[in-house]
């Protein structure tokens, strides 16, 4: 059920490996964050999947655009780079494209 009050809660947590959270907003679903240590032993690969209840391609594209911005910002933060996605403006900063 969708309402005007977005929410999110962690529904499963496997320390140092996976976070599963349930969210509701324009669409509702699950976000699955898996963390895989790379073979160099110095870095981690983030594998993200979202299972959503979107009804059409436009909703799917909107949700994908949202997650891409969030993940790009997370990567920039972890790597000490400038955050590329301006959530307040709802768009990528100049020279960044989804």
Tens digit of each residue's pLDDT (9 = 90 or more) over 40-90: 988 888 899 988 877 788 878 877 877 888 888 888 888 888 888 765 655
The reported pLDDT for the residue numbered 55 is 77
Does 2 share its domain with 24? yes
Does 92 share its domain with 49? no
* Other Cβ atoms within 10 Å of 14 Cβ, number: 10
pLDDT beyond 80 at 22? yes
The reported pLDDT for the residue numbered 2 is 45
Confidence band (pLDDT; 50, 70, 90) for 4? low
Domain enclosing residue 75, as ranges = 56-98
Q: What is the pTM of this model?
A: 0.66
Mean of the pLDDT values across residues 11-22?
91
Number of domains in the chain: 2
CA pseudo-torsion sign 39, 41, 43, 44: positive
Nearest to residue 45, comparing CAs of 57, 36, 32, 53? 36
Does 60 share its domain with 28? no
Tally of CA atoms within 13 A in the half-sphere of 43 that contains its CB: 6
Does 62 share its domain with 26? no
Does 38 share its domain with 69? no
Nearest to residue 96, comparing CAs of 30, 88, 82, 27? 82
The reported pLDDT for the residue numbered 12 is 94
Does 63 share its domain with 40? no
Does 7 share its domain with 47? yes
Q: Are 76 and 92 in contact (CB under 8 A)?
A: no
């Amino acid at each position: 059920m969708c309402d005007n009050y977005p929410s999110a809660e962690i529904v499963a947590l496997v320390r140092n490996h996976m976070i599963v959270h349930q969210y509701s907003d324009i669409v509702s679903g699950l976000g699955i964050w898996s963390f895989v240590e790379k073979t160099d032993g110095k870095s981690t690969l983030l594998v993200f999947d979202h299972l959503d209840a979107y009804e059409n391609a436009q909703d799917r594209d909107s949700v994908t655009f949202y997650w891409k911005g969030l993940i790009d910002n997370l990567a920039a933060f972890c790597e000490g780079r400038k955050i590329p996605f301006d959530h307040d403006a709802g768009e990528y900063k100049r020279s960044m494209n989804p």
